[in-house]
Amino acid sequence: MSAVQIQGNASGTGTLTIAAPNTNTNQTLTLPDLTGTLSVNGPAFSAYANAVQTFTTATSTKVLFQTEEFDTNNNFSSSRFTPTIAGYYQVNACIYFSAMSTLYGFIIIQKNGVDYKYGSTLVGTAAGCFAIVSTLVYMNGTTDYLETFASQSTGVNQNSNNGIALTWFNGAMVRGA
């Protein structure tokens, strides 16, 4: 690992750019003014389902997100978010169950293969209902990963609806470790 040495000043513009050696990933570090704060632009992603998925009754099933809206650090793949920068992340997920108007659906954010946070369905109509979950989670930047699962217990199989506004998963780093 190479060290970066900084010399000189950025008088006049207030901006000093430092290029890190031996990397193909861009990272931004904003240094504070006398009364400012230190911030790091970390990973962010947003993905959504572009295909209908069937959920068997009383079975937790991984929700598939085939289309990436954005993935700033290439940390989202195969419906899994694995950030490479340690910190705290705000993550959100939503699934729309088609033709399910009763409160029997759940959405689950799993961390490292274990249920972490649950969200349940909101009151729906005969056309369907949403299940939504949102949480803040610490990720270690090396082995931690997140996936979204859904479950329903209506007694019959249920389909999700697809599309950028209906079944989605997103997150962003809000603070470093």
CATH code, 43-176: 2.60.120.40
What pLDDT, on the 0 to 100 scale, is given for residue 1?
Answer: 44
29-78 pLDDT, tens digit per residue, is 555 555 555 555 799 999 999 999 999 999 999 999 999 999 999 999 99
What pLDDT, on the 0 to 100 scale, is given for residue 23?
Answer: 60
Q: Is 41 or 137 the better-scoring residue by pLDDT?
A: 137
Do 146 and 88 touch, CB atoms closer than 8 A? Answer: no
Is the pLDDT at 175 greater than 80? The verdict is yes
71-88 pLDDT, tens digit per residue, is 999 999 999 999 999 999
Q: What letters, b where the CB count within 10 A reaches 16 and e where it falls short, cover 141-177?
A: beebebbbbbbbebeeebebbbeeebbbbbbbbeeee
Residue extents of the structural domains in the chain: 43-176
